[in-house]
Amino acid sequence: MSAPSTAPSPSGNPVTGPVVVAVVGPTATGKSDLALDLAQALSPGGAADLRGGAAAEIVNADAFQLYRGMDVGTAKVPVAERRGIVHHQLDVLDPVEDASVARYQTAARGDLDDIAGRGARAVVVGGSGLYVRALLDHMDFPGTDPAVRAHLEDRAEREGRRSLHDELARLDPDAATSIGPHNTRRIVRALEVIELTGRPYTANLPRQEYVRPAVQIGLDCDREVLDARVANRVERMWDGGLVEEVRALASPEQGGTGAGLGTTASRAVGYAELLACWRGELSLDEARGAIVADTRRLARKQMGWFGRDPRVRWLDAGSPTLLDEALAVVRAADTGGLPDPGAGPVRRSLGS
């Protein structure tokens, strides 16, 4: 096996540790199960202990599993079923709080630093594409300045958004082309970032470049099979107390008995539909059907996101040798034996 890799930490100090393994892809493909299997196999004494060191640890990259109490509807692995494997970035927010990708990036990269410092392997798992990118890739989150933004918004009101878009075109032509002249909010944000950073807005956009050595394993699935998996998952959630969970979290104004669900949490599939039910917009049966339909749409969106990343190594979620295939990808990553991104056939059923 190759020597442990070295990469800079968020603080700029080098961190030595094994290649980070990320399990990604659409919902209901079995990512959590594979992550547990990998973490167990890659730990000392595991069936495929590739390097020794401390036990592997899991880092969550699902935006809604960050929330305490949102368990059934997010398919969070119960504590008793985590096989004693340490998990990070679960249950770190109250449902009334709004999630922040920038805050997640800082906290989760800190977890990766700590895991590497223990000589352990990090196994990242989740289907929230932006969170995965924020954790693994070069992605900056420039701050905001209320005074600068207010000034730009006032200019947009007085001079018109076309004037601001022309200014953006002079300062960052690529950003102007991407944003277009009609999206005032994004034009203002781009000009704000340029003023605050002194760099083009596009210089702050994510790059498909890992901040530390990593490999992404994507789980693919035929559309018909995945649709059936989604329906079965929703049935299990329904039987497992999803309605009761949402009612216990939601505020009385939202139709529940708890402290409430904030803007971010209330958008989660399974929660949004039941809140709509309690607002009188859907019957309970209609809400259940909407959850199935919306989960299927989410799966296609996730496949579209991850399918655009040529670095993802796709495996068939239904393969009887899935763990062995995933471990082979990890071995190749550890030894620098992976082909160039995008080389060879790529299987992306949902993205076709």
Question: Binding site for ATP: residue ranges?
Answer: 25-32
Q: Which parts are annotated binding residues for substrate?
A: 27-32
Residue among 293, 318, 296, 311 at smallest CA distance from 221: 318
* Tokens 């082979």 -> residue: 328
3-state secondary structure of 66: helix
- Kindly give, in sequence order, each residue whose CB lies less than 8 Å from that of residue 162, ignoring residues fewer than 6 positions away: 181
**CB burial of residue 256 (10 Å; 0-12, 13-18, 19+):** buried
Give the whole-angstrom CA distance, residue 14 versus residue 92. Answer: 27
- Kindly give, in sequence order, each residue whose CB lies less than 8 Å from that of residue 155, ignoring residues fewer than 6 positions away: 163, 164
> By the 8 A CB rule, do 227 and 296 touch?
yes
Q: Which parts are annotated binding residues?
A: 25-32
3-state secondary structure of 89: coil
Q: Buried b vs exposed e over 117-151: b needs ≥16 C-beta within 10 Å?
A: eeebbbbbbbbbbebbbbbbbebeebeeeeeebee
DSSP state of 96: T
Show the tokens assigned to 106. 């800082």
Q: Which run of H or E residues covers position 326?
A: helix 322-334
Amino acid occupying residue 57:
E
Residue among 120, 138, 139 at smallest CA distance from 21: 120
- Kindly give, in sequence order, each residue whose CB lies less than 8 Å from that of residue 253, ignoring residues fewer than 6 positions away: 260
Show the tokens assigned to 95. 């449902």
Give the whole-angstrom CA distance, residue 255 versus residue 266. Answer: 12
